[in-house]
Structure 1
Amino acid sequence: MDSMNDLIREYTNQLNTGRIQEAYRGIMSFMSDLRTYLTERYPNYVTGSLYFGYMDMTYFAFSPTALRDRKLKIAIVYLHKESRFEVWLGAINRKVQAKYIEFFRLKNIGQYKLSQVSPGVDSILESILSDRPDFDNPEELKKEIERKTIEFAESVTLMLNR
């Protein structure tokens, strides 16, 4: 096992190439632009602040009021290690999360992944938005994420109303 000093030396070496900072800034810039784009296009949705994370995930909440009224929220999540965008249905707390995991366990959730209640799990349902994001074409990537996120929100709302 590497010592903390070894890990920090490797971290410093990687930072000295400059590529990690450039990539990280690119991801944060894209996420910020995506948040602004969706906020402007969907004024009836509530958009949360951008959470930068610890190079594990970066996300923001983007939820229709119908879900917010049920103490639920949607998060658009970028997973750094996987280089993938996902959309998650989450809740305002663990008690509400557990209630809705049980609710969806009894539903046909189609292609969505149902989460299990356990420490560190923040989602109720998950779906992949883009498993190979093309950051060189940000406008197309925004539209893909937008389309799939709205589909997810509408699908979840329908399931909740059945």
Structure 2
Amino acid sequence: MSDFSKEVESYKEVLKAYNVQEIYKEIILYMRFLRQDFQKENESFRIGGLYEGLMDMTYFSIATDRLLQKKLKLALVFVHGKGSLEMWISGQNREVMKKYRTYFSADPGFFLPAFHEEDNEDALLEFTLAEGKDLPEKEDAYKAVAPMVKNILEQMEKQLENLD
């Protein structure tokens, strides 16, 4: 039996034992529901499509016209390995990320504690909105995280004024 065949056999066992497919489906539905609420409740936001991911992260982007002018965006991310819902400040591409990396290399005074995991090339700065047993139910998720997202957006826009 090849190594790949052995890995597939192990994968099948994990799927059976831990109901992984059903849980993954619930996470995708959770994020779809959250995305729809952001789209419905915030006409001034530009909401990107849902990236379902490869069991690493599932996310959608949130931006305003001002952020898009600067080629920046926020990503509302479910990080599968941590079981956390996070907000990441990100750029349109690696060049934009490089331009703003120094500016966002330290916590510039956001109301939530900011951090940056060195191996995360997709984010300039990260915020944990909820994790583990503190994750709100699907029906309550928007009400729980929207004020934090709006606050981060407002603070970002104010800080970007200083760069002009």
- TM-score bracket, normalised by the shorter chain, equals 0.7 to 0.9
Q: Which runs of 5+ in 1 are unaligned?
A: none
Q: What residue is the counterpart of 1:81 in the other structure?
A: 81
| Contact 2:75/2:87 (8 A) holds in 1 | yes
CA distance in 2, matches of 1:146, 1:106: 24
Q: Give me the identity figure in percent.
A: 27
1:112 to 101, 111, 114: 114
Cα distance change of structure 1 residues 20 and 157 upon mapping to structure 2, 3 Å threshold:
same
Q: What residue is the counterpart of 1:123 in the other structure?
A: 123
Please say if 1:61 is aligned against 2:65: no
1:60-99 C-alpha deviation (Å, 9 max, x unpaired) = 0111111111100110000001000100111111111111
| Contact 1:88/1:126 (8 A) holds in 2 | yes
Q: Which runs of 5+ in 2 are unaligned?
A: none
| Contact 2:85/2:135 (8 A) holds in 1 | no
CA distance in 2, matches of 1:104, 1:26: 33
CA distance in 2, matches of 1:52, 1:59: 7
Give the residue type in structure 2 aligned to 1:124: L
Please say if 1:13 is aligned against 2:13: yes
Provide runs of 4+ in structure 1 moved above 4 Å.
Answer: 133-136
Q: What residue is the counterpart of 1:132 in the other structure?
A: 132
RMSD, aligned CA: 2.3
By how many angstroms is 1:153 displaced? 1.1
Cα distance change of structure 1 residues 136 and 65 upon mapping to structure 2, 3 Å threshold:
closer
Cα distance change of structure 1 residues 76 and 106 upon mapping to structure 2, 3 Å threshold:
closer
Aligned length: 159
1:22-73 C-alpha deviation (Å, 9 max, x unpaired) = 1111111110010000000001111111001110000001111111111001
By how many angstroms is 1:115 displaced? 6.2
Cα distance change of structure 1 residues 102 and 40 upon mapping to structure 2, 3 Å threshold:
same
SS of the residue corresponding to residue 51 of structure 2 reads coil
TM-score by length of 1: 0.87
